[in-house]
Amino acid sequence: MWLESLTNWVTTHQPQWSGGWSGLSPLMVSPHRVMVSPSEWDVMTQLAMVLDTVLPQHPPPTPWPAVSWPAVFTSYDFYLTDQGPQLIEINTNAAGLPLVSVLSAYYGMGNADAAIRAMFNSMGPAGYIAIADDQPKEQKTYFEFEMIRDWLNVQGWEAGIHDVRDPVLDDAAWVYNRYCDFEWRTEASARLRSCDQRGMRVSPHPWHYVTLAHKSRLVGLREMVAPDWWPHIPETRWFSAHPKDEWWGMRRGLFFKPVSGFGSRGVYRGDGMSRKVMDKMPADTVVQPFLVPRTVDTPDGPFKTDVRVYVHQGVVVAVGARLFRGQVTNAQTMGGGFSVCIKGSVADGWSAG
């Protein structure tokens, strides 16, 4: 019922974002607002801006040459914990910004249209924008592709949704790339590689991923910023830093993540890991403390949450949240999903409702 009311409101008050709502699952958008304290808000937004500026200044060794255009829809994701906000991931292909923009407007906080417009303007060439993914209609965020396509068309661009293999990409002005083969290693990415080789702008590009979001960037990340930020950046180590016997003894309280990948694929919590799994673990796995996000009680029951700070060229675009049970990407719980994040007045606390 809430989603129906929200849909009707969007159609009337935010028609530029009304595309795709018919396909939006109620499991993808939450009716519960998340409030964070001013101190937590400031830590997350300021650290996100610092990292978005510092990381490109310290590029890693990579076969990908630096590109002159920015990544669109980059986010810095945080857990709220008893030790303060903790950076958990950097994402150059972040979903949810259109929903967060709409929800912000719905709750009287304005929308992110101007900032999103600036993102697309920063890509430079005018002309057709191809929104591309692997079998896009099969993606659970297809509704978002439709939202972005229709918004772009309302704003005066011309845009369409395509499979990454579609020859239409060859004639686009540039490609908004939603495919999660971040380094273009699969055969499905062949057309993206071809577009890049011909000088077409593709965003996000593998250079954006390896510079900002590759898990290896979390190792040594503290040393790139002032010590004041270290309490909010979990210590990250290479699995190769210790013999497996030592990791086995230390595994409880640790998280083991593959250096490449997305979501929760291939991630293991140490206290639930078998020795067989550890013995087969690649040396370039990264190891972090296991973080426990705070939970919040809602009319739909308790939820864990993370906060997503969207940044473009060192400037915060919007702040959203995701409410979830189990894995953050499951989108299978009524009352969970993307949410609006509010800077509250309660010192060092947060609530939802």
246-250 own/partner pairs: CB under 8 Å, 24+ apart = 247/278, 247/287, 248/275, 248/278
Which of 289, 308, 335 is where one domain is finished? 289
Contact in structure between 175 and 194 (CB atoms under 8 Å): no
Tokens 């057309």 label which residue?
191
Same-domain check for residues 284 and 315: no
Q: Is residue 327 part of a domain?
A: yes
In the block, residue with structure tokens 């906060």: 307
Residues 271, 310, single domain; the answer is: no
Q: What is the pLDDT of residue 330?
A: 60
Domain count for the chain: 2
| Number of separate helices (H) and strands (E) present in the chain | 9, 16
Q: Which of 247, 272, 289 is the last residue of a domain?
A: 289
Please tell me whether residues 299 and 277 are part of one structural domain. no
- Tens of pLDDT along the chain (353 residues) come to 688 888 899 999 999 999 888 788 888 999 999 989 999 999 999 999 999 999 999 999 999 999 999 999 999 999 999 999 999 999 999 999 999 999 999 999 989 999 999 999 999 878 999 999 999 999 989 999 999 999 999 999 999 999 999 999 999 999 999 999 999 999 999 999 999 999 999 999 999 999 999 999 999 999 999 999 999 999 999 999 999 999 999 999 999 988 876 555 678 989 889 999 999 998 889 999 999 898 888 899 999 999 999 999 999 999 999 999 876 556 678 889 999 999 985 433 334 44
- Report if residue 228 sits inside a domain: no
Residues 314/318/322/323 CA torsion (nearest 10 deg): 140
Rounded to an integer, what distance in angstroms lies between the CA atom of residue 250 and that of residue 271? Answer: 9
Domain containing residue 273: 235-289
Same domain for 161 and 271, yes or no, is no
Q: Is residue 282 part of a domain?
A: yes
Are 169 and 284 contained in the same domain? no
Record the tokens describing residue 79, joined without a space. 């857990």
DSSP class of 290: P
Does 223 reside within a domain? Answer: no
Confirm whether 229 is domain-assigned. no
Q: Where are the alpha helices (DSSP H) in the chain?
A: 2-13, 38-57, 97-106, 113-121, 142-154, 190-197, 206-208, 244-250, 275-279
Report the candidate in 204, 237, 243 with the shortest Cα–Cα distance to residue 220. 237
CA distance 77 to 213: 11
Look at residue 222 and tell me if it is in a domain.
no
Question: Does some domain include residue 225?
Answer: no
Q: How far is CA 270 from CA 56, 80, 262, 279, in A?
A: 32, 21, 19, 13
199 and 325 inside one domain: yes
Question: 200 and 101 in one domain?
Answer: yes
Asked if 71 and 203 count as a contact pair (C-beta separation under 8 A), the reply is yes
106 and 175 in a single domain? The answer is yes
Question: Do 118 and 84 fall into the same domain?
Answer: yes
Report which secondary-structure segment, H or E, holds 255. Answer: strand 254-257
- 340: helix, strand or coil: strand
**Which residue type does 314 have?**
G
Of 289, 313, 329, which closes a domain? 289
Same domain, 42 and 74: yes
The answer to whether the CB of 263 falls within 8 A of the CB of 213 is: no
- 31 falls within a domain: yes
The CATH number that applies at residue 282 is: 3.30.1490
- pLDDT for 346 equals 42
Q: Token digits for 10?
A: 């969007």
Contact 149/19 with Cβ under 8 angstroms?
A: yes
Distance CA 291, CA 336 (A): 20
Q: Does 24 share its domain with 133?
A: yes
The answer to whether residues 162 and 73 belong to one domain is: yes
What SS3 class is residue 253? Answer: coil
